[in-house]
Amino acid sequence: MRAMVLREFNKPLQQEEVPLPAIGNKDLLIKVQACGVCYTDVKIATGVFSYITLPRIMGHEIAGEVTSWGEGVKNFREGDRVCVYFYLNCGQCENCRGHKENLCLNLRGRIGFHFDGGYAEYVKVPVTHAYKIPESVPIEEAAILADAVATPLHALREQAKVKPGETVAIVGVGGLGIHAVQLARLLGSKVLAIDLDEKKLQAARELGAEAFSGAEEGLTDSILSTTGGKGVDVILDMVGENETFQTSLSFLKAAGRYVIVGYSFEKPFSIFPHTILTKEFVLIGSRASRPRELADVLQWAADKKIKPMVSQSIPLNRANQALERLQRYEIFHRVVLRP
């Protein structure tokens, strides 16, 4: 099969012919029809994660058709359209039993990180991690649900516990943030979108958010004004840089929740503890998503409650171009690869 293979960090992916994955008793072999390109793939390709071993086929936002299966598989057949939950959790530990699969104590790894992913014609997936796609959901849109859509849902509903009527500020309305806008509104919140890119801000406005430029000198005053001087209830930080952290705290209301979804390894957050304790800010980490969130966004996409935002679909052999554009912040919403 054809695949785009990462053989050296900070080098272009190589298009190669590689063997088909060998499936086990409870595995599916999926013919990949779409695979989202995530900024995390840029981090993998540039060697940010020390645990990634090479060679590696990246790609964790996967959708395709079932072509074959192991003897232990009973509920899937040839041609079934599926997308993939990419955290290979054990299903047995305390966290998995408590529906915290993204925090599995015996996590085997992640597809596209520790195991080969969807930048290829075929991918192997445990049957427990494949979710059937409703007929009304286009395959390109289904591909990005497991991360670009389910991740902000986890951050908003499970971690921030957003309530109807609250005000949520989304810092960074790129591939994940634009879906956070939709989801926060679906959960009944007033949404403020903050970004440096006017195109992205306009897209957020069209989805019902009030938009603010992150470059605006009086950003804090503007947000305090629109919230009646109180500040916002929840900040969803999709950027994760020290500068966004410092600025955002200035318009978080007392006892507000600050949820960290995006992250950078370049510079740590810097703040005096006194700032946190005097206003009783709640700092919350949010790691990817859980299976129940993927199931929910699949259904919401089918019901047209949300719209997965795919801006472009390109051939698999243009994966390097997509990664380069993403690194230069030129990608609008999500790009998917088509093998």
Domain ranges of the chain: 2-144+308-338, 149-285
Tell me: the pLDDT tens digits for 156-175?
Answer: 999 999 999 999 999 999 99
Antiparallel, parallel or unpaired: β 81-84 and 14-17: unpaired
Q: What is the dihedral of CA 141, 145, 151, 153, to 10 degrees?
A: 90
pLDDT, residue 245, reads: 94
Rounded Cα distance between 169 and 141, Å, is: 25
Mean pLDDT on 136-145? 98
pTM of the model: 0.96
Given this chain, do its domains 2-144+308-338 and 149-285 carry the same CATH topology? no
pLDDT, residue 332, reads: 87
Mean pLDDT on 125-153? 98
* Six token digits for residue 15: 């298009």
pLDDT, residue 266, reads: 84
Mean pLDDT on 214-225? 94
**Residues 21, 12 contacting (CB under 8 angstroms):** no
Average pLDDT of the chain to the nearest whole number: 97
113 CB neighbour count, 10 Å cutoff: 22
The percent of residues above 90 in pLDDT, for the chain, comes to 95
Mean pLDDT on 206-223? 95
pLDDT at 264 over 90: no
What value, to the nearest 5°, has the Cα angle with vertex 201 and ends 200 and 206? 95
Rounded Cα distance between 318 and 332, Å, is: 16
Class of domain 2-144+308-338: alpha beta
Find out if CATH 3.40.50.720 is the number for domain 149-285: yes
| Burial class of 103 by CB neighbour count within 10 A (0 to 12, 13 to 18, 19+) | middle
Bridge partner list, 334: 310
Mean pLDDT on 45-51? 94
- The 3-state DSSP class for residue 167 equals strand
pLDDT, residue 70, reads: 96
Name the nearest CA neighbour of 256 among 231, 224, 273.
231
Q: Which of the four pLDDT bands, split at 50, 70 and 90, describes residue 10? A: very high
Q: Which of the four pLDDT bands, split at 50, 70 and 90, describes residue 255? A: very high
Rounded Cα distance between 269 and 262, Å, is: 12
**Residues 13, 59 contacting (CB under 8 angstroms):** no
Q: Which of the four pLDDT bands, split at 50, 70 and 90, describes residue 80? A: very high
Mean pLDDT on 122-137? 98
Rounded Cα distance between 146 and 41, Å, is: 15
Mean pLDDT on 19-30? 97
CA distances to 79, 175, 265, 315 from 179, in Å: 29, 7, 24, 24
